Amino acid sequence: MSTARRIRCWLAPYRVRVALALGLTVTACLLTLAVPLLVRELVDRVVIGEDWRELPLLSGALLLVFAAQAGLNLANALIVGRVGLDVVRDLRHGIYERLQRLGLTYYDRTPTGAIISRMMDDVGAIQGFISGQTVTVLTDLGTTAAIGAVLLWQNGWLALVALTFVPLYLLAYRAFLPRIRANSTAIRSKMDRIFGHLKERIDGVQVIKVHAREQAEEEDFATMLGDAHGPRVREARLGAAFANLSGAISALGTASVFAAGAFEVLHGRMTPGGVVAASTLAGMLFGPIGRLADLAYVFEQAGASVDRLGEILDLRPDIVEPAEPIALGRVSGRVEFDRVGFGYAPGRPVVWDVRLRVEPGTKVALVGPTGCGKSTLLNLLMRFYDPTWGEIRLDGTPIRHVATDDLRRQIGVVLQDPVVFRASLAENIRYGNPGATDAQVEAAARAALVHDFAMELPEGYETLVGEGGRPLSQGQRQRLAIARALCVDPAIVVLDEATSSLDTASESAIQEALANLLRGRTAFIVAHRLTTIVDADLIVVMEGGLVVQKGTHDRLITEPNGLYRRLCARQFGLPEAPAMSGFGPAPARIEPARAIAGTPGVPASTLAREAGPLSIPLPDPIPADVRA
């Protein structure tokens, strides 16, 4: 879509106000036309004809015209300024709405800085253009035509002299505008980098301080600013050169009309007043044309922003909502992966032919080396992406046929890095279920072991948490995320490394909260620490995007050639014996895993003594929930 067409679409809801502003400006323009006529009368009758009686009337009329123009311009500025603000609000809203609807694929490939810079910087540029210029463009075009007509009516020869300068403007446009647009686009993409860098560095401020990199960061940022400064300076130069060139053309045009008029007076074909009027008209003609030149400059600058915003607004979500969605109601939680394959990039699958049937209430653990596709499988279940082939069904219904809102309402998610929004604790808990009553929030909080620490906060559940609010520990944040999931009361729970960044003390509380969340629900658990999943009903072992083993811990641990057994051995701190890596039986090496699995209450120190150094800290004594 062209830039002008896009701006027309954005202005469409405000067409009445834009028309009113246009009307006011046209009236102001018509009044402007009266000025040279009044000046002509003043010169010819009062100055040359020395008829001073006409002076009060003519100068009063001039004053009235100027006052009316000022009033009209003020009203116009108020209307157009408001329209500009309204369009900006609509745009930001439209972009945010689009961002909410877009799938993860968009976020995978778009740097955060590019999104923030569009939302703030580009929208701001458009506001400047719409508030200051849009109506002016249209009225200036009208004014130019009207003044040209009056000039032609007054004196065809002088009109011709004036109009010969118009092609010069066109040449200047052609020379400058593409460079202005290219420069503006370059500035915007540099701003993307600056915004992205800023966000990343603010998020990572702790890492910067830990490594004492403040000075280096300052220098990096200065380099980036310098990088964006060059195009900005070039832009200012281009703008100044363009404005001055068009100003020079205007001055030359007005002077030429005046010279041609003087020539006419000398030959007795015009009165001096007529020349003054014609020169004033010529000046008024070149005024709007010159402004149009300036506008073209601003238009090209804003045009780069319009195009960049258009890129987002034109995007369609890659997850297509079904035309006639099947309503799920409350599901029991039976999940089937039927020959599912998927790749983030075409032709590069990361999960292959996954077949899995999970009965309601089953706890399924996904384990395997890093990058084997565990999280991807969960992303597919939540329909963040659609499988390239195969089908996922929930209670027998293919999830492609279910509205994504409906599907995701069935799933509670707890991730490794819990997100806490800047809001009260209660609002954070009811985020996924805004209609939850206070009693439901408290019940979820109690089950997630949030209630006790909520009671210690100054305003209990109403305490502001998140950015700028009450800081929460990692364990508290994690329990808050569990409470949020509980408040939705989902049929299915997804835990992706939910306990991996916690110390053992926090972990036991989290494990208790998680046990409450998992009770009676189908659960998919990704965990690198195998101690946390040994009691799963089904352990799915993946490697290279394939499911290579399935079964309970007890069964898998006895499979001599199994990857699971090797993972256990490696994780519990044992050197891998040749027999292990060669898939041979190595029961002695598995001993610690067996001990963990089968000996609840054994102090970790004893285990460590027997098994050698453990790579993972174990709770001491070992809690019951690591029993097989």
Q: Which string of DSSP letters, residue by residue, matches 320-345?
A: PPPSSPPP--S----EEEEEEEE-SB
Nearer to ligand ATP, 162 or 340 (CB): 340
Closest distance to ligand ATP from the beta carbon of 371 (Å): 4
- For residue 123, CA distances in Å to 86, 116, 165 come to 12, 10, 35
Closest distance to ligand ATP from the beta carbon of 525 (Å): 12
| Helices 591-598 & 604-611 angle (0-180, nearest 10) | 160
Instruction: Name the token pair of 305.
Output: 């922003």
- For residue 205, CA distances in Å to 190, 197, 218, 526 come to 22, 12, 12, 29
Instruction: Name the token pair of 55.
Output: 């002076």
What is the C-alpha end-to-end distance of the chain, expressed in Å? 62
| Helices 504-518 & 474-488 angle (0-180, nearest 10) | 0
Closest distance to ligand ATP from the beta carbon of 347 (Å): 13
Q: Cα–Cα distance between 221 and 230 in angstroms, integer? A: 15
Closest distance to ligand ATP from the beta carbon of 331 (Å): 24
Nearer to ligand ATP, 144 or 376 (CB): 376
Nearer to ligand ATP, 103 or 113 (CB): 103
Closest distance to ligand ATP from the beta carbon of 568 (Å): 16
3-state secondary structure of 304: helix
3-state secondary structure of 464: strand
Tell me, what DSSP letter sits at residue 470? B
- Non-local (6+) Cβ contacts of 119 within 8 A are 92, 95, 96
Nearer to ligand ATP, 275 or 494 (CB): 494
Closest distance to ligand ATP from the beta carbon of 376 (Å): 3
Place of tokens 């299915």: 492
Closest distance to ligand ATP from the beta carbon of 534 (Å): 18
Q: Which string of DSSP letters, residue by residue, matches 234-264?
A: HHHHHHHHHHHHHHHHHHHHHHHHHHHHHHH
Nearer to ligand ATP, 351 or 492 (CB): 351
Nearer to ligand ATP, 291 or 374 (CB): 374
Region of residue 377 (left: phi > 0; alpha: psi -120 to 50; beta: else) = alpha
Tell me, what DSSP letter sits at residue 619? P
Tell me, what DSSP letter sits at residue 496? E
Q: Cα–Cα distance between 334 and 524 in angstroms, integer? A: 12
Q: Do 403 and 322 meet the contact criterion of CB atoms below 8 Å apart?
A: yes
3-state secondary structure of 526: strand
Nearer to ligand ATP, 278 or 526 (CB): 526
Closest distance to ligand ATP from the beta carbon of 102 (Å): 14
Nearer to ligand ATP, 108 or 438 (CB): 108
Number of CB atoms found within 10 A of residue 595's CB: 16
Instruction: Name the token pair of 200.
Output: 């990343």
Nearer to ligand ATP, 473 or 615 (CB): 615
Nearer to ligand ATP, 35 or 351 (CB): 351
Single-letter amino acid code for the residue at 272: P
Closest distance to ligand ATP from the beta carbon of 370 (Å): 3
Closest distance to ligand ATP from the beta carbon of 378 (Å): 8
Nearer to ligand ATP, 254 or 376 (CB): 376
- Going by DSSP bridges, is the β-strand pair 546-551/538-543 parallel, antiparallel, or unpaired? antiparallel
Nearer to ligand ATP, 257 or 540 (CB): 540
Nearer to ligand ATP, 108 or 417 (CB): 108
Nearer to ligand ATP, 181 or 374 (CB): 374
Residues that bind ligand ATP (CB under 6 A): 108, 344, 350, 368, 370-376
Closest distance to ligand ATP from the beta carbon of 415 (Å): 11
Closest distance to ligand ATP from the beta carbon of 369 (Å): 7
Q: Cα–Cα distance between 201 and 55 in angstroms, integer? A: 70
Closest distance to ligand ATP from the beta carbon of 368 (Å): 6
Helix ranges, 393-531 (H)? 404-409, 425-429, 438-447, 451-456, 474-488, 504-518
Closest distance to ligand ATP from the beta carbon of 416 (Å): 9
Q: Do 461 and 424 meet the contact criterion of CB atoms below 8 Å apart?
A: yes
Q: Cα–Cα distance between 402 and 319 in angstroms, integer? A: 11
